[in-house]
Amino acid sequence: MKIKRYPFLIFMLFICTLLFGCWSKKELRDLALIIAVGIDKKDGKYMSTFQVVNPGNVAGATQRGGGSTGLPVALYTSTGDTLVEASRKASKQISRIPYYSHTNLVVIGEELAKEGIQQIFDAVERNPQFRPTANIVIARKQTAKQLLSVLTPIDKIPANQMIKTLELTEMMWGENVDTRLREVIESFSLAGKEVIMSSFYVDGNRKHSDDQNNVRTMEPTARLRAAELAIFKKGKLIGWIGKEEARGVLWILDKIKQTAVTVDWKEEKEAVSYKVVRAKTKVTAQLRNGKPIIFVAVKTEGDIGETFVAIDFTDPKQIVALEKVMQQEIKAEIEKAAHVAQKKKSDIFGFGEVVHRAYPKEWKEMKKTWDDKYFPKLDVQVKVESFIRRTGLRTRSYIQ
Amino acid sequence: MWLRLRNQNKKQVYQYDKVAQEGIYGTIERDLHANIEKVRNITGNSADIVIRRFLLGKEENLSSALCFVSGMVDENMVQQLLIEASVQLSFPSTCCDQLDYIEKKIATANTTRRVKQWNEVFSLLMSGESILFIHGMQEAISIAVKGGEYRAITEPSTQLSIRGPREGFTESLGTNVAMVRRRIQHPHVRVEAITVGEVTHTNVRMMYMKEIADDNIVEEVRSRLQRICMDGVLESGYIEQLIEDETFTTFPTIYHTERPDSVAANLLEGRVAIFVEGTPFVLIAPAVFIQFFQAVEDYYARFDIATALRFLRILVFFISLVAPSLYIAATTFHQEMIPTSLVIAIAAQRESVPFPAFVEAVIMEVTFEILREAGVRLPRTVGQAVSIVGALVIGQAAVEAGFVSSVMVIVVSITAIASFATPSFAIAVSARLIRFLLMVLAALFGFYGILIGLIWMTIHLCSLRSFGVPYMTPLAPLIPTNLRDTFVRFPLWALTDRPHGITEETNIVRQGDEQRPEHNQETRREGDEN
């Protein structure tokens, strides 16, 4: 009997595919979708907290009843000498494979941040599942675990609540910055750039924050709230910057998209609100007498949002005068921010990198002593151009 | 005994022709009785063979017999013929050749011919002609009174169009050929008659445009048709399978259509049409891949709409090809590719499903194929019941029972609708088969497997040929001018060239210059000024 060669070969090839098939197959049912990871340090060991989604209980994900009584997320904690160890040890409690591809939030406890976070990102960067676009926040005055164990009312998954809050407040107000994992890791390898991160804290009574009763009331007893920006230096948390200074940082970083600036008008304090709808910052460096000078040029465009005093907006002179006042206000914010950072000797604005790009040769020398010698004494010249595009639907206010 | 078995195992040679012809050799005899006996004998005295004896001529009264198959002749014509032959016909008894005189005098039928050989007599008789035997004559007259009932011309049921002619082919060969000829009124339309099937003697017509069709392709089609040697050819599908270039492929290399306008358009592009008696489906060869995405309406609608629809159809083909396999790959290998909120939603639904994604997909796809097959074969009245059962049981109950996730139902439905939207059923069927292969590959290797499958498919498509023409023409080999009628359909005035590689190369341009409407107006205006 002669076997036909061609079909036989194909048959053999097909059999081969069955030999190695499916080795990386993971059914959705066997995955623990970790939506957020919290990292703390406890007794010299890393303590990882995993916020795992319970898909059946996420509202809208299932149309059948029964699931609505459960919680949308579950929390698991495990400790280990390294993060990988902690993650693997978590299998003692979780029945499914920890899956990090949808981890969109990394929370770091304040204690750990002060000790230094440089080591923990190696594991994260090495793991192919981890997304470099995951958000990273610091738990203010708390452990990461405490921050992750708060149930939230509207976005049922607390991690989503935090991410969306962060993104929204960066866009609308501009005192918080939405820092991604990639930026943090990048900053470790750059001499002229330090990283800043937003922080969150649990507002209110956090005793029963993880109880479902927390979301049953109109005003939850424990609430997540974005707080100051954390200033890092060499991977260590060295201080906080908040309020107007924080916004000043975002102005320099060109991260302001929209915000509202309130200025004084004549005798009246805090009288006019300027809604910024567009802003652009350019940072350039110049070397004068061997000393670098940084120029920060900000251009803003916006509307008048509110006024408590009678201003005649039909008069261009008034508008120009108002623009001047706004420019001063924004300039003051920026200068304050620069001052704070210089005092902390942490180049969170990346001025060093600007100098690096403009004067690569000179930078080689400055690099070593940039933080201690150059940056704190850096001459930062701020120039703001504000432009009032519209005055809203009214030209003349009813306030006379 | 062994010897006998061995003899039985010996391969038989096909010789039906010889067997069938046995006993009908020889010529017609002078004796009418003997002739009638012969007809009775050969046909086994079949009930539908009518032998009508009568006296021929007004005065002479030659005893004669008219022989025909009832149902295959036009009864009215036969009646008229009988009246003419027995009552009106008179001929001089002393004339040179009486038979010749009678043949010429019979005016009822379009064609008459004299036959002498028995095998000829029978083949004409079976094809629906009447044979007139006259006592004392050594020849008979065959009179074409073909007729009988055929289905009326109706709208084609498989290729509907919103705009365009409503008539579709019928089972009658003559009608079909005429429908096309009516559309191309040019003497270059050539129709060649070939009889296929040793037992069925099926009439086949090969139609092409002289000067436009490539002679080599025409010759190739002709020789392949003549090669066919088997008992019966009952539908054009028989011929398609016997003359196609590659059997082991899921892709059709011969186009078939029910629309005369489609045939006419293809003839004008230099293709060859094959009509088969008894089927409304006409074959068109050579066929290229992109042809299966071209609907006749593309050319009747304006080009922008036609282009949008052409894009849609190609997209739809890909959806019907890969949708379930993408679902399998994404949910079992590449969960990171799905947006977080969607993956949570899918995970929630899959939570209660007891099967792996692949099994789930296969179950649903097979169920759908079963439903579709049932729907096609069932009588129309029961068909509705099937769709209700399908929608309720498969759609709702299965999801509610937690056997399948509702995402899977969505995937299966989109696949099904996509495959219905493919204009050619032939290509939709091939996508159906490949879909299952891709599902297996997706279950084994994820996206990597789907890609391997698609690459294999592309290589396979490029290796196919239809009557010597590469299947992927004009994409591979790339023919830029013909690309105007592939993914996009350029305005009609820009489709200047007939398809290269199919049409005779010396006669490639199909329209005059300056067919663009604005252009005409400009020249006219200039003329007015002068």
pLDDT, tens only, B479-505: 999 999 999 999 999 999 999 989 988
Q: What is the pLDDT of residue A314?
A: 86
Query: In terms of domains, do B99 and B184 share one?
Result: no
Query: In terms of domains, do B323 and B460 share one?
Result: yes
User: What pTM was computed for the model?
Assistant: 0.85
Q: Does B259 reside within a domain? A: yes
Q: Quick check: B327 contacting A, CB < 8 Å? A: no
Residue A263 C-alpha, separation from nearest chain B C-alpha, in angstroms: 41
DSSP string for A115-143: H--GGGHHHHHH-TTS-TT-EEEEETTS-
State the residue for tokens 């079992």. B332
The four Cα atoms A251, A256, A258, A261 give a dihedral, to 10 degrees, of -20
Q: Is the pLDDT of residue A67 over 60?
A: no
Whole-number Å distance between alpha carbons of A65 and A55: 13
Q: Does B137 reside within a domain? A: yes
Domain end position, chosen among B470, B500, B515: B470
Query: In terms of domains, do B274 and B381 share one?
Result: no
Query: In terms of domains, do B341 and B408 share one?
Result: yes
Q: Is the pLDDT of residue B82 over 80?
A: yes
Query: In terms of domains, do B261 and B319 share one?
Result: no
Chain A residues near residue B335 by CB distance under 8 angstroms: 26, 28, 31, 99, 101-102
User: What is the number of structural domains in chain B?
Assistant: 3
Per-residue pLDDT tens over the stretch B435-472:
999 999 999 889 999 999 999 999 999 999 999 999 99
Query: In terms of domains, do B334 and B406 share one?
Result: yes
Of all residues in chain A, the one with the smallest CA distance to B329 is: A25
Of all residues in chain B, the one with the smallest CA distance to A104 is: B340
Per-residue pLDDT tens over the stretch A80-135:
999 999 999 999 999 999 999 999 999 999 999 999 888 888 888 898 889 999 99
pLDDT, mean of residues B236-254? 93
Query: In terms of domains, do B268 and B218 share one?
Result: yes
Query: In terms of domains, do B241 and B387 share one?
Result: no
pLDDT, mean of residues B326-336? 93
Q: Does B229 reside within a domain? A: yes
Q: Does B7 reside within a domain? A: no
Q: Does B132 reside within a domain? A: yes
Domain end position, chosen among B470, B488, B503: B470
Domain end position, chosen among B450, B470, B490: B470
Q: Does B211 reside within a domain? A: yes
Domain ranges within chain A, ordered by starting residue: 27-241, 243-400
Q: Is the pLDDT of residue A66 over 70?
A: no
From the number of C-beta atoms within 10 Å of its C-beta (0-12, 13-18, 19+), residue B376 rates as: exposed
Q: Is the pLDDT of residue B316 over 60?
A: yes
Tokens standing for A299?
A: 């251009």
Q: Does B25 reside within a domain? A: yes
- What is the assigned CATH class of domain A243-400? alpha beta
Of all residues in chain A, the one with the smallest CA distance to B353 is: A29
Q: Quick check: A53 contacting B, CB < 8 Å? A: yes
Cβ neighbour number for residue B351 with a 10 Å cutoff:
18
Q: Is the pLDDT of residue B279 over 90?
A: yes
Whole-number Å distance between alpha carbons of A312 and A396: 6
What is the DSSP code (8-state) at residue B499? P
Say which residue, B258 or B149, is predicted with more confidence: B258
Complex prediction ipTM: 0.86
What domain range is B77 assigned to?
A: 16-143
Chain B residues near residue A31 by CB distance under 8 angstroms: 335, 347
Is the C-alpha dihedral spanning B76, B82, B88, B94 positive or negative? positive
Instruction: Note whether A102 contacts B343, CB cutoff 8 Å.
Output: yes
Q: Is the pLDDT of residue B518 over 80?
A: no
Nearest to A26 among B332, B346, B400 (CB): B332
